[in-house]
Amino acid sequence: MMSTVQTEISAAVKTRTDGKFKRSEDVAFYRRQSQGPNMQHQALLDTLVLAEKGARLELLEPDKKTALLLTLSASEEGSVRIVVDELHPVRARYRVPDVVVEEAPCEQLRVQQHSEDSVVLSWSSGAYGVRVWRFPFRLEILCGEDVVVTFNSRGKLWFEPLQDPSGAAEKAKSSGASTSSEVEGDQTGSLWTETFEGFVDVKANGPSSVGADFCFHGFSHVYGVPEHADDLQLRDTRHGEPYRLYNLDTFAYEVHSRRGLYGSVPLLLAHRPDRTVGVFWLNASETFVGVRYSPSERQVVESKTKKGLETDVRWASESGVIDCRVLLGPGPQQLFSQYARLTGYQALPPLFALGYHQCRYSYEDEADVKAVDAGFDRHGIPYDVIWLDIDHTDEKRYFTWDPARFPEPLRLQRHLEARKRKLVVISDPHIKVDPGWWLYREARDRGHFIKDRDGRVFQGSCWSGESSYLDFSNPHTRAWYSRCFGLDKYEGSTPSLFVWVDMNEPSVFDGPEKTAHKDAVHHGGWEHRELHNLYGFYQHMATMEGLITRSGGLDRPFVLSRSFFAGSQRFDAAGAVWTGDNCASWDHLKITVPMLLSLSLAGISFCGADVGGFFKDAEPELLVRWYQAAALQPFFRGHSIKSAERREPWLFGEAVTAAIRNAIQQRYCLLPYWYTLFHHAHVSGLPPLRPLWVEFQKEQSTFAVDNQYMIGGALLVCPVTDPGVQEVQVLLPGSGEVWYDVHSAKMYRGGRTVSLPVTLDTVPVFQRGGSVVCRWMGRGSCTAEFQQLPLSVTVALSAQGAADGELYLDDGRSFSYRDRKAFCLRRFRMQSGCLVCCSGSKDGSFDCDTVIQSVSILGMERKPSAPTVRVSGAPDKSVGFGYVEMCRTLTVNSLNLRASLDWEIRIL
């Protein structure tokens, strides 16, 4: 017979995998837009009005007499905002709040050219412009004289006006009958009601979808719009499914699929050798993105010309308005900055969050947690955080503890804190319907739950059984929820307890597509359809605010969220996400790389995937390769379902344990570099994890590569993602570059693909010539211990004998770096045989004991005679060194140089 646990798991898996997810053909608004006629809108140029912050003019669709208002604004830094709304709506349409944090200052537009057929508006001394064509309406965005992007190039602008709900909708609601066909020949649905798998969706204001198309001129590579388990470069969708943005609990998802997963970021990037541009489509309703390359890349190569090369992208959303920003770069770094300024910069995480996290659904009790904690120390494997899933609660009531399994949570947290480690617990948005539970009563009595279309509290099934769902779109609900994390409210919690928000798409086991009904009602009377993709974003926000409030605003929180939207990255030190419930398979390991690269391009820099795969058992080789890959990715957590065999790193024999220990140890040694990269993401928007083309913008050979990537600008990684591999092919870009194998220090010339032998213990990593990377030296059990260790500095010389790099330091936990400028940024520069350490910023001041003990210089052509160290205020000092001629590496040890002070090493 099956055990109780096995029965529970089988039932849970069945619950989450039964049912059906929609294809585009099942979605009424998408059918209407894709099968309906092109709407030939006309721009009424005589209605043009130039205002202080932009321009506006009216659009008219002659056949349906639909009157629209087009609003344009532009910024000097290179972005254009396009907003289309009804000219006279029967009620206000939903506009996404809380995502955009700062609009770039608007430039005054001026008329540069005007004719009967078009008008050209320019700004920024004529560097940029927009040309509005009268009929058929289209809007061209100009950089100089070149048309870079065209809005409505193929006439796909679609806008369904809201209708008076007192008529047809009420009839449809009461009878369930169709009121009219959607498009000619389509008898499968109606405009006011829609049925899928027995669920009836009543549209309170009738059909309200919007859509538009963009043409990217001269571009044949587009990326972004996560989250999908697919390639980095978006595929042509004309003969298949479009990319869907609709946050869903997609347990054990398929790979190479365009179906929506747990989060959505409606940002698309297009890149060519001389320019990177992007479109941010600010809409939180269900959205489809279609891509069409024309002509094909192969045809371009054969014709040896870029004439006619373009990519068309079509957006279609169920509701809201058209509100999009075209970001003009011109390079990827400028585009990242433009987008970060708009939606928020990546939060700077606490240092412990960049360490290794150990999780399982679920650790059984306090003794189990302590045994796992001790196991890491016994086997010499560092880690920082252990996690508890839903079974730690009292009958799935969040903010509680199971009295039998976790009777002394305070003592457990103090036990971990004594070892400088943290505890993370799960908190989901569904609240068990239990009038005897204080949290449920308060939420019910204060109106904090989502309502159904009839005004009753919406209920659905999730882990706790019959549940109600908190309305996080309500700022009062968020404030109430945030206070629940206070030490006085959350019994058994301490300042070393952090939070994991899961199932927040939201997941509703007995709902359509296992999520909330679209006609459920939120704060302000808005239907769930309007803001579905924002739901997890808002819970993430409320949880972050709760932890910041708990510390009195002193300490950086850590919150991991499964669901996300544009802007999730900015939540103070808490903006971490992961790729959800993946599987223990080589295909899932392989797809992790493009998934994380796509998230990084869309601003979600603190991202990772469950090491080993969440669902099913992981074979030892797969587990080792996953640890090696994940140790070189931003968020690093091992996690598995409880029906899988236990997989703590020491359970598979000493060879496997040693390989995993080495991968985790190397991760910890590299944390000074990772932390510096997150500082740069926090201030510039540049992601730590980067596709090759971000660093090698002109090299088309890199544009579709998604099996290897850059960590910052210095390290190139090619994870091993296939079984039984003994040799891998690695592209080393840049014909003028040099690369150094970090294991052997062997130098390779760039601009070619090299074959490298690998064993189970190795993964190809190269340091780029011209870079400097700092690492911790020695061993520790967690980040707090590693912080006390000295640093080693690896200088990789370029072909010109130069190198440059930075090191960021602060206390690793508080907001003092922001509030009191308690940080230091150190710059290392090697030129003409002299390595200089100096300040990289005038803003910060942080006096720390961190010392640099060792410097290695890769690519030294000859053995020096007498390296000397010069520190301000002290005489020059000769230092001992070693030189390995075979790999041309110079190493200077026993330096004991303060990282926060200026000094230089002269190599004579």
Position 671 pLDDT exceeds 80 = yes
In a domain, 493, yes or no: no
CB 535 within 8 A of CB 505: yes
What does the pLDDT average to over 777-790? 97
Question: Does 18 score more than 80 pLDDT?
Answer: no
Please compute the mean of the pLDDT values over residues 801-818 and round it to a whole number. Answer: 97
Q: Answer whether residue 213 is part of any domain.
A: yes
Overall average pLDDT of the 144-171 stretch: 85
Per cent of the chain over pLDDT 70 is 94
Mean pLDDT (whole number) for 353-369: 97
What is the structure's pLDDT at 108? 94
What integer pLDDT is reported at residue 865 of this predicted model? 85
Interatomic CA distance for residues 131 and 115, integer angstroms: 11
What per-residue confidence (pLDDT) applies to 3? 47
Structural domain includes residue 68? yes
Residue 726 lies in a domain: no
Mean pLDDT computed over 650-667: 98
Supply the pLDDT for residue 740: 98
22-36, 174-188, 813-827, range with the lowest pLDDT: 174-188
Q: Give the residue numbers spanning the domain of 136.
A: 30-161+208-303
- What is the average pLDDT across 823-844? 95
Q: Which CATH number goes with the domain that contains 79?
A: 2.60.40.1760
Instruction: Give 310's contacts (C-beta < 8 A, 6+ positions apart).
Output: 215, 216, 217, 218, 219, 294
561 exposure class (CB count in 10 Å sphere: 0-12, 13-18, 19+) = buried
pLDDT given at position 872: 83
pLDDT of residue 175: 41
Position 550 in a domain: no
Domain for residue 86, yes or no? yes
What proportion of the chain, given as a percentage, has pLDDT over 90? 88
Mean pLDDT, residues 857-873: 91
Are residues 357 and 385 in contact, defined by beta-carbon separation less than 8 angstroms?
yes
How far is 282 from 901, CA to CA, in rounded Å? 46
Q: At what angle do helices 475-483 and 535-550 cross, to 10 degrees?
A: 40
**At residue 15, does pLDDT exceed 60?**
no
| Residues 659 and 761: beta-carbon distance below 8 Å | yes
In a domain, 614, yes or no: no
φ, ψ (nearest 5 deg) of residue 412? -60, -45
Output the pTM of the full model: 0.95
pLDDT tens readout for residues 709-732? 999 999 999 999 999 999 999 999
What residues are annotated to the active site? Answer: 502, 505, 581
Average pLDDT of the residues in 601-628? 98
Measure the CA–CA gap between 908 and 891, rounded to whole angstroms: 14
**Does 238 reside within a domain?**
yes
Q: What is the pLDDT of residue 98?
A: 98
Within 8 A by CB and 6+ apart from 128, the residues are 74, 78, 80, 122, 141, 142, 143, 328
- Residue 681 parent element (H or E): helix 671-684
pLDDT of residue 167: 56
Please give the pLDDT value at position 908.
77
CA distance 514 to 508: 5
Q: How far apart are CA 434 and CA 446, in angstroms?
A: 15
pLDDT of the residue at 307: 55
Identify the pLDDT of residue 303. 46
**Would you place residue 172 in the very low, low, confident or very high pLDDT band (cuts 50, 70, 90)?**
very low
Number of domains in the chain: 1
Q: Tell me: the pLDDT tens digits for 371-417?
A: 999 999 999 999 999 999 999 999 999 999 999 999 999 999 999 99
Of the candidates 112, 114, 109, the one whose C-alpha atom is nearest the C-alpha of residue 45 is: 114
pLDDT bucket at 46, cuts 50 / 70 / 90: very high
Q: How far is CA 212 from CA 319, 322, 652, 718, in A?
A: 13, 8, 53, 38
pLDDT at 65 over 90: no
Is residue 181 pLDDT above 70, yes or no?
no
* pLDDT given for residue 301 in this prediction: 47
